[in-house]
Amino acid sequence: MASFPPRVNEKEIDGSYFAWSQGHRTVKLVPWSQCLKNFLLHGTKNITNSSSLRLSRQNSDGAQKNKPHEHIIDCGDIVWSLAFGSSVPEKQSRCVNIEWHRFRFGQDQLLLATGLNNGRIKIWDVYTGKLLLNLVDHSEVVRDLTFAPDGSLILVSASRDKTLRVWDLKDDGNMMKVLRGHQNWVYSCAFSPDSSMLCSVGASKAVVAAILV
């Protein structure tokens, strides 16, 4: 079994950024349009989707401030997993007793979640490189991260500590649930298209599905 993380790659779904970490503590963020330009310069063919070149956040308020640019984030420990999350207009809070939050995620904000060797999950503002949240409940390596596709900023993490944890980033990163169906390390997780179900895979060929709503 590998002792070090594989190379991690992640492309933001609207074409804004490409991120990777090669078994180090840093993550490099490069505008996706720059990646495509480099591919084209080296003769890469069949890149015909012009929408991939669209940087939607350049058309929003504060376009110059949020214009994608290449930069590096130091996560403080070896990075095993990456996931992008996009903010959406606020919906009714899932926790009705909480009315105050440290962070109000704007519609033009782009987040990067990083899963680390020490079990921590760090949430970053992609455009500024600012650390927003530090989630610390896992006791082992965080092998995978995935955001719910409904834009709710619900994040699920899979870990060597044999658990999956569900986090609500709109509620200051509150941990909503701990899922304990695996008997061994959890390697990967993914949402159903409607965000109602989560599927995970782990050691010993285990596959576990859970209904989240």
Q: What is the pLDDT of residues 56-66, one digit of tens each?
A: 343 344 444 45
- Is 29 buried (19+), middle (13-18) or exposed (0-12) by CB count in 10 A? buried
Please check the confidence at residue 69 and state whether its pLDDT lies above 80. no
| pLDDT for res 161 | 96
The length of the chain, given as a count of residues: 213
The pLDDT > 70 percentage for the chain reads 66
Higher pLDDT, 47 or 83: 83
Q: Are 116 and 147 in contact (CB under 8 A)?
A: no
Please check the confidence at residue 53 and state whether its pLDDT lies above 70. no
Higher pLDDT, 40 or 177: 177
Distance of alpha carbon 58 from alpha carbon 74, whole angstroms: 25
Domain annotation for the chain: domains and CATH numbers: 8-211 (2.130.10.10)
